[in-house]
Amino acid sequence: METSSKPNHIGRKISRLRELRGLKQEALAMELGISQQAVSKLEQSESIEDEVLERVAKVLGVTGEAIENFSEEAVISFIGNTYNDHAASYGQYYNFNAIDKIVALYDEKVALLERLLQSEKEKVEILKVKQL
């Protein structure tokens, strides 16, 4: 029985690493001194030359070996195993009821509008008295 393995599509791995770094194709292209279309073609390639791989890796802040061995599952696993809610470690919990907060803000808005209306009424009264 033969097992099929996923092809080692370097272009997809470069694309995913670029996205994880928050880079657009244009930014990567500029750093590499090539066009955005060339980056697009590079990301569609199943394999690339070692020299090009090392240049891309340097721009992405990783090694060529890291790109070759990149695994989406490993990244998710790493994040899941290392995530730490720092707020919890310092005892800072922000528990509040969102509806209560919205109601309080609405009440504050109504109070401000009532004060504004009262102020405008007072101005009108002052102007009426001055006209007499």
N residues, the chain = 132
pLDDT of the residue at 2: 45
Instruction: For residue 47, give the nearest of 33, 67, 66 by alpha carbon.
Output: 67
Under CATH, which architecture does the 10-82 domain have? Answer: Orthogonal Bundle (1.10)
Report the distance separating Cα 123 and Cα 111, nearest Å: 19
- Whole-structure pTM value: 0.54
Q: Picking from 78-82, 101-105, 118-122, which range would have the lowest pLDDT averaged per residue?
A: 78-82
For 83, phi then psi, to 5°, come to: -65, 135
pLDDT of the residue at 33: 93
pLDDT of the residue at 43: 93
User: What is the domain partition of the chain in residue ranges?
Assistant: 10-82, 97-132
Q: Has residue 78 got a pLDDT over 70?
A: no
Report the distance separating Cα 73 and Cα 81, nearest Å: 12
* Residue 113 burial (C-beta neighbours within 10 Å; 0-12, 13-18, 19+): exposed
| AA letter at 47 | S
Longest dimension (CA), the chain: 104
Tokens of 52: 């090009």
Report the distance separating Cα 115 and Cα 51, nearest Å: 70
